[in-house]
Amino acid sequence: MITLSWIIERLLVKPTEGTLTDVVITADWRCNGTDGTYSGTCYGSASFAPPTGSFTPYEDLTQDQVLGWCFSNGVDQSAIEANVSQQIADQANPPVIAPPLPWLPPVVVAPEAPIVEAAA
């Protein structure tokens, strides 16, 4: 089973926007996934227009709130999660492999000889 998690890694703010302070204009997000053996990730940024309605002070923002803004402003949550899940599935069952060339003899790695130091 794949476990997915979303995080906000960074917020860019305008120090002042009209009468408001510390207005978020960009959020850098990341979606991580793992099945315990393999992992995948996808990241990006979402930009926001200046607020026109209610305003949440910067210090009161939550990660879930900002992720909601990202999903409302063009970040396709379902597509990103499908991409991360596919990365994990492709690691578990690679769709393309690179076997040895059939006309070359196989490479054999000889075991290393032990290092023996000379007695003084």
**What is the DSSP-derived secondary structure letter of residue 19?**
T
Sheet hosting strand 39-47, strand order edge to edge: 3-17, 20-34, 39-47
> What are the DSSP calls for 54-119, one per residue?
----GGG--HHHHHHHHHHTT--HHHHHHHHHHHHHHHHS-SS--PPPTTSPPP-PPPPPPP-PPP
Please tell me the number of Cα atoms within 13 Å of 24 on its side-chain side. 24
Give pLDDT, residue 120: 66
Phi/psi-derived region of residue 58, left when phi > 0, alpha when psi is between -120 and 50, beta in every other case: alpha
Low pLDDT (below 70) residues in the chain:
120
